Amino acid sequence: MPKLGMELIRKRELIRATTAVMHESGLAEPTLAAICARAGLSSSSIVNHYFESKQDLLECTMRDLAAGFLGEVALRVSTARSALDKVRAVIDANFAPSQCTPEAVSAWLWFWSRVPTNEVFAQIERAIDDHVVGELKRALHEIVPEADVDDVAEGIMALMYGFWLRFALDQKKLNIQTACRITQDAVVSKLSLYGQGHAGACPSSPTPGLF
Amino acid sequence: MPKLGMELIRKRELIRATTAVMHESGLAEPTLAAICARAGLSSSSIVNHYFESKQDLLECTMRDLAAGFLGEVALRVSTARSALDKVRAVIDANFAPSQCTPEAVSAWLWFWSRVPTNEVFAQIERAIDDHVVGELKRALHEIVPEADVDDVAEGIMALMYGFWLRFALDQKKLNIQTACRITQDAVVSKLSLYGQGHAGACPSSPTPGLF
Amino acid sequence: MPKLGMELIRKRELIRATTAVMHESGLAEPTLAAICARAGLSSSSIVNHYFESKQDLLECTMRDLAAGFLGEVALRVSTARSALDKVRAVIDANFAPSQCTPEAVSAWLWFWSRVPTNEVFAQIERAIDDHVVGELKRALHEIVPEADVDDVAEGIMALMYGFWLRFALDQKKLNIQTACRITQDAVVSKLSLYGQGHAGACPSSPTPGLF
Amino acid sequence: MPKLGMELIRKRELIRATTAVMHESGLAEPTLAAICARAGLSSSSIVNHYFESKQDLLECTMRDLAAGFLGEVALRVSTARSALDKVRAVIDANFAPSQCTPEAVSAWLWFWSRVPTNEVFAQIERAIDDHVVGELKRALHEIVPEADVDDVAEGIMALMYGFWLRFALDQKKLNIQTACRITQDAVVSKLSLYGQGHAGACPSSPTPGLF
DNA sequence: GATGAATGAGGGTTCATTCAT
DNA sequence: TATGAATGAACCCTCATTCAT
């Protein structure tokens, strides 16, 4: 029964199953057998039917994840008015529900753990990073002194990556909403020092401060 | 070659080789063959001669790394005078040279990526985390309001983990000294809001601020 | 080669090859490599394709052998009229051609030698033993005094096991037909003492007698 | 401390440990490591120090066992007066306490299971068998018609081997004394048919009979 | 005499992949 | 389109054995 569009459906099923397996079997190397079993398909031959190889499936899976993430960023940033709102939009995108399911978080950590090994993954990672950091810096340029842009951007990225890593390690240890709030607060208080944000210029009052 | 007392020497060699392989061959599962080749030993039998299994070698490797890290923390915290100094000591320990070689960073990320899979690794991770977070909170209790202790501690941990993760992903992207400085500044400015730290109450000067 | 329905064929081939290897390579632990080579298959991966493990293959092999044996017993016992005929049927089943090929005898001895080691094999052995001994005792109840049933049954079993063991040790030493005849004669003469069997009460002629 | 006679002591220790390991670890192939651990020696090198190889140790172990058994036979046969007593002596030797410890029984079954594989073991087995069967037949010649000697001897051997095998399979299933008694009774009743033994010529009375 | 170091062969198992159906 | 057959590489581990101490 050569249904049209079967290819797309199967691919999506397999990609979804891949992230599920990454999560369920720890972050161990997912096997094709496990992925196919999870997708309800028998025989791992089907993977080589729709993908060039296991590596291809994994790359597609990560590209899919990355596309979703960059989409969240683009969507939110494009609707932000002020520079500060753009910064906040980037942070919101990082903690967006679609990126924070246990499966997604596991997939991200799995992906990161393979970046040093795998050149293709490294390229994807660099592309994501360049895009997000670029977005961040473009906004920060309008808010903080030129000399501070890099450090502030780097700080924000580290904070988000750190929360993600810690969430992946133990999902009971951390609450995503809390993580997002802490990050947002950190930025607000930080930028308020430069006379931006909702706060006044000099934080003489018991200003929020970082974290 | 059959010198007596070879056990400690070989164990150390193999542990060192393990972290080296983790780093060199990406964060992929290190094979005993690769580890032995790296250590200059022939045949992977030698590993089972000195360790109970591959898993045992990996656990010993991580315990060794963890011990080194906790040692750095203990050493620096014990010589700190004020509560603020203790917080800074924890941060310094995280970015201590012994913990920031490319090999060590790779090993840490490898370790983290296995925590969800492996119960023993999870225990080690929890032990480390409890210890460091505990140290941090004990000091923060004297500095920030009770209600803020958890969030501040969590923020500091995330910042450090995030820098480490990003360093592991691309060592050219980040400079450890910079990461340490940004983290320290973040803490100082944060805590200064509560009237603590070496800085005066109101940061009238181009205030430190977070990140 | 990838014909459908290959599973049953291959399983049978592998089981047959297993007993062959047990026989040919003495009763040493058969290796998958040897079994596959014997079956004309390349690489021992095929075993794990059709069986869960080597242990599974061995268990299936023995269950197959046991089923054949119990089938022989059931077939012959069910067509026996008198109680004595049932006893003789059990003996005939033990020395049936299907159970007395050199391969089968080797497989049985191999199996027995593993019973003390292996719980699954022990269960199979107990099941077989209980079944055969039970069949024997049920028939004997009608022939010999209650007090003698156990000893007679035990004696018959020992005689059969002993012949089998000796046949396994050296197939030139013994002739199966002779063994069967000796066992049958032993039973006939034994039971004739109780006034049963086709023979008259007192064996006035140079009576058969045991052995 | 080069104690004199250390060699004999160590050899005996190792041989004893070998049978112990054969029994304790089922009838699996005993490893040198297990044997040395059982003997309280560290490092399996000691075996190659006192024996030429593992095979040598195993052969010595079986020769030791065989010597003990043949000694039992010789001792009892030499003190037997009548031909019938000699037959009974052989049976008693088979079930002598020294040959019926769980360790000895396991060792014997282990040995038998290796006979088809191993030429040296086969030679030992043949030597034992020839000796015992010879002893038996020599006595039987004086009791039973020439034509029956082989069958009767073979029957007795089978009965004894069968009991041993069944005892090795499950020591709870069988009692050595019972096995010995059944065998002795079988012989007595059998030979009584030929006008020998304690019984009268024609077993018209409810003679014991076999088993 | 006895130990510990080191090696290498060989075993079972997992797994991605190819191919015929 | 989809499945099952089959293969071969790679891995961890066990174990007997040799050698230097």
Residue type at B130 in one-letter notation: D
**Could you name the CATH architecture of C54-192?**
Orthogonal Bundle (1.10)
Report the CATH superfamily, name and number, of domain D55-211.
Tetracycline Repressor, domain 2 (1.10.357.10)
* Cα–Cα nearest to A159, from A203, A85, A211: A211
Q: What is the largest CA-CA distance in chain C?
A: 69
Contact C104, C19 (CB under 8 A): yes
- Asked if residues A155 and B210 have their Cβ atoms less than 8 Å apart, the reply is yes
CA angle D129, D135, D140 (to 5 degrees): 120
Q: Which residue minimizes Cα–C1' distance to F8? A: C43
Q: A54-211: which CATH topology?
A: Tetracycline Repressor; domain 2 (1.10.357)
Which token pair is B34? Answer: 């690769």
Kindly provide the b/e burial profile for residues B159-197, where b requires at least 16 CB atoms within 10 angstroms of the residue's own CB: bbbbbbbbbbbeeeebebeebbebbbbbbbbbbbbbebb
CA separation for the pair A52, C194 (Å, rounded): 80
Task: Mark the nucleotides of strand E covered by protein, meaning any atom under 7 Å from a CB.
Answer: 1-21
Does residue B10 lie within 7 Å of nucleic acid chain E, judged by its CB?
yes
- Assess contact for D75 and D82: CB atoms under 8 A: no
CB B68 within 8 A of CB B98: yes
D160 touches chain C (CB under 8 A): yes
For residue D163, pLDDT beyond 50: yes
- Residue D17's identity, in one-letter code, is A
At B187 the pLDDT is 85
Per DSSP, the three-state class of C172 is coil
Residues B26, A117: C-beta atoms closer than 8 Å: yes
Specify the DSSP class assigned to residue C206.
S
Question: Does residue D67 carry a pLDDT above 50?
Answer: yes
pLDDT one-digit tens code per residue, C106-137:
999 999 988 988 889 999 999 999 999 999 99
CA–CA dist A186, B211 (Å, integer): 9
Short-list B145, B141, B127, B125, CA closest to B87: B141
What one-character-per-residue DSSP string does A116-135 give? TT-HHHHHHHHHHHHHHHHH
Contacts for A101-104 with beta carbons within 8 Å, 24 or more apart? A102/A23, A102/A171, A103/A19, A103/A20, A103/A22, A103/A23, A104/A19, A104/A65
Specify the long-range contacts of residues C27-35, CB closer than 8 Å, at least 24 apart.
C27/C106, C27/C109, C27/C110, C27/C113, C27/D113, C27/D114, C27/D116, C27/D117, C28/D114, C28/D117, C29/D29, C30/C58, C32/C57
Chain B interface mutation, best of A110, A125, A128, A169, highest count of B Cβ atoms under 10 Å: A169
Residues of chain C with Cβ-Cβ distance to D193 below 8 Å are 189, 203, 206-207, 209
Which uninterrupted H or E stretch holds D193?
Answer: none
Question: Residue B3: its pLDDT value, please?
Answer: 60
The answer to whether A171 contacts chain B (CB < 8 Å) is no
Are the Cβ atoms of D126 and C170 closer than 8 angstroms?
Answer: yes
Token readout for A52 is 């060039």
CA D165 → CA B107, C158, D88, D187, distances in Å? 56, 8, 20, 20
Write the CB contacts of B35 (distance below 8 Å, at least 6 apart in sequence).
B14, B17, B18, B21, B44, B47, B57
Listed by start position, the domains of chain A span: 1-51, 54-211
A 10 A CB-CB count for A68 gives 14
Q: Is the CA virtual torsion D34, D39, D43, D46 positive or negative? A: negative
Residue B106 Ramachandran class (φ > 0 left, ψ -120 to 50 alpha, else beta): alpha
Is residue C38 very low, low, confident or very high in pLDDT (cuts 50, 70, 90)?
very high
Distances (CA, A) of A210 to A56, A125, A160, B126: 42, 28, 14, 26
- Please indicate if any CB of chain D lies within 8 Å of the CB of C29: yes
Q: What DSSP state is assigned to residue B29?
A: P
Q: What tokens were used for B76?
A: 């620096």
Q: How far is the CA of D169 from the C1' of F20 (A)?
A: 46
Name the minimum distance, in Å, from the CA of A117 to any CA of chain B: 4
Q: Which nucleotide is nearest to A9 (CA to C1')?
A: F1
The encoded tokens of residue B172 equal 């050219």
- Quick one: pLDDT at residue D128? 95
CA separation for the pair A80, B211 (Å, rounded): 23
The type of residue at D92 is D
State the nearest Cα–Cα gap between B11 and chain A, in angstroms. 26
The pLDDT of residue A173 is 79
Q: At what angle do helices B54-78 and B102-114 cross, to 10 degrees?
A: 120
Chain B contacts of A163, Cβ < 8 Å? 158, 162
The amino acid at C51 = F
Cα A166 from Cα A40, distance rounded (Å): 32
- CA–CA dist D88, D185 (Å, integer): 10
Cβ neighbour number for residue B49 with a 10 Å cutoff: 12
**Which two tokens mark D193?**
């048919």
Q: CA at B45, C1' at E6: how many angstroms apart?
A: 9
- DSSP for residue A97: G
Return the number of CB contacts < 8 Å for A and B: 172
Give how far A30 is from chain B: nearest CA, Å. Answer: 12
Structure tokens at A12: 């999506």
Radius of gyration of chain B (CA): 20
* Beta-carbon contacts of residue A157 (< 8 Å; ≥ 6 apart): A129, A132, A133, A136, B162, B166
Say what the pLDDT of residue D198 is.
43
| CB of A210 less than 8 A from some CB of B | yes
Hey, what CATH topology would domain B1-51 get? Arc Repressor Mutant, subunit A (1.10.10)
- Within 10 Å of residue A194's Cβ, how many Cβ atoms? 17
Neighbours of chain D (3+ CB pairs under 8 A): C
Cβ contact A144:A189 at 8 Å: no
Q: Residue for token digits 């000099």?
A: A202
DSSP state of C6: H
Is D40's pLDDT higher than 70? yes
C61 close to C106: Cβ distance less than 8 angstroms: no
In order, the DSSP letters of A5-56 are THHHHHHHHHHHHHHHHHHHTTTSPPPHHHHHHHTT--STHHHHHHSSSHHH
Q: How far is CA D24 from CA A105, B158, C113, D34, D156, in A?
A: 50, 55, 13, 10, 30
Does residue C16 approach strand E to less than 7 Å at its CB? Answer: no
Task: For residue C207, report the phi and psi dihedrals to the nearest 5 degrees.
Answer: -5, 145
Write the single-letter amino acid at D123.
Answer: Q
Interface membership of B126 toward A (CB under 8 Å): yes
Residue with tokens 């299933």: D173
Distance from CA of B110 to the nearest CA of A (A): 7
- Residue A191's pLDDT band, with cuts at 50, 70 and 90, is confident
Determine if strand E comes within 7 Å of the CB of B113.
Answer: no
- Region D152-178: mean pLDDT is 91
Subunits close to B (at least 3 CB pairs below 8 A): A
State whether residue A104 sits within 8 Å of chain B by CB.
no
Query: Is the separation of the CB atoms in C47 and C36 below 8 Å?
Result: yes
> What is the C-alpha separation between B21 and B58, in angstroms, rounded?
12
Predicted confidence (pLDDT) at residue D3 exceeds the cutoff of 60: no
- Determine the protein residue whose CA lies at the shortest distance from the C1' of F15: D31
Chains A and B touch (3+ CB pairs under 8 A): yes
Please answer whether residues A13 and A39 qualify as being in contact, where contact means their C-beta atoms are separated by less than 8 angstroms: yes
Quick: pLDDT tens for B129-160: 999 999 999 999 998 899 889 999 999 999 99
Distance, in Å, from the CA atom of B112 to the CA atom of A183, rounded to the nearest integer, reads 22
Q: Average per-residue pLDDT in chain D? A: 86
Is the minimum distance from the CB of A177 to strand E below 7 Å?
no
Quick check: A199 contacting B, CB < 8 Å? no
The rounded distance, in Å, linking the Cα atoms of D152 and D155 is: 5
Between residue 48 and residue 87 of chain B, the positions with Cβ below 7 Å from nucleic chain E are: 49
| pLDDT confidence bin for C210, thresholds 50/70/90 | very low
Read off the pTM.
0.86
B6 CB closer than 7 A to any strand E atom: yes
Q: Report residue D139 as tokens.
A: 């006595």
Q: Do D166 and C161 touch (CB under 8 A)?
A: yes
Tell me the C-alpha distance between D96 and D94, whole Å: 6
Give yes or no for A120 touching B (CB within 8 A): no
Chain C partners of D115 at a C-beta cutoff of 8 Å? Answer: 26, 169-170
Distance A146 CA to E4 C1' (A): 65
Asked if the Cβ of residue D6 lies within 7 A of any atom of strand E, the reply is yes
Buried (b) or exposed (e) across A132-168, using 16+ Cβ within 10 A?
bbebbbebbeebbeeebbebbbbbbbbbbbbbbbbbb
What average pLDDT score do residues D71-99 get? 94
The pLDDT tens digits for B48-105 are 999 999 999 999 999 999 999 999 999 999 999 999 999 999 999 999 999 999 899 9
The answer to whether D26 faces chain C, any CB pair under 8 Å, is yes
* D 164-183: CB within 7 Å of strand E: none
Q: Is C113 on the interface with D (CB under 8 A)?
A: yes
Provide the pLDDT confidence category of residue A205 given band limits of 50, 70 and 90.
very low
Q: For C113, which of D27, D125, D211 is closest by C-beta distance?
A: D27
Query: How far: A31 CA to E15 C1' (Å)?
Result: 7
Interchain proximity B158–A154, CB inside 8 Å? no
Q: In chain D, what residues touch C105 (CB-CB under 8 Å)?
A: none
- Kindly state the greatest CA–CA separation across chain A: 72
> What one-character DSSP code corresponds to residue B208?
-
User: Hey, is the C-beta of A27 within 8 angstroms of any chain B C-beta?
Assistant: yes
Q: Write down the pLDDT at residue A29.
A: 87
If you average pLDDT over residues B25-36, what whole number do you get?
A: 88
Kindly determine whether residue C112 and residue D168, on different chains, have CB atoms separated by under 8 Å.
yes
Residue whose tokens read 């010649």? D141
Mean pLDDT of A50-69: 94
pLDDT at residue D205 above 50? no
Nucleotide nearest to A29 in CA–C1' terms: E15
Distance separating alpha carbons of residues C200 and C198, to the nearest angstrom: 7
Q: What mean pLDDT comes out for the span D136-146?
A: 92
- B29 CB near a chain A CB, below 8 Å? yes
**DSSP letters along D6-38, please?**
HHHHHHHHHHHHHHHHHHHTTTSPPPHHHHHHH
For an interface test with A, give the residue of B125, B148, B154, B167 to mutate (most A CBs within 10 A). B154
Any D CB within 8 A of C173 CB: yes
Compare all CA atoms of chain B with the CA of A204 and give the residue at the minimum distance.
B202
Highest mean pLDDT among B23-27, C173-177, C188-192: C173-177
- Rounded to the nearest 10°, the torsion over CA C84, C100, D182, D86 is 130
Do the chains contact at D27 and C117, CB–CB below 8 Å? yes
The rounded distance, in Å, linking the Cα atoms of A133 and A139 is 10
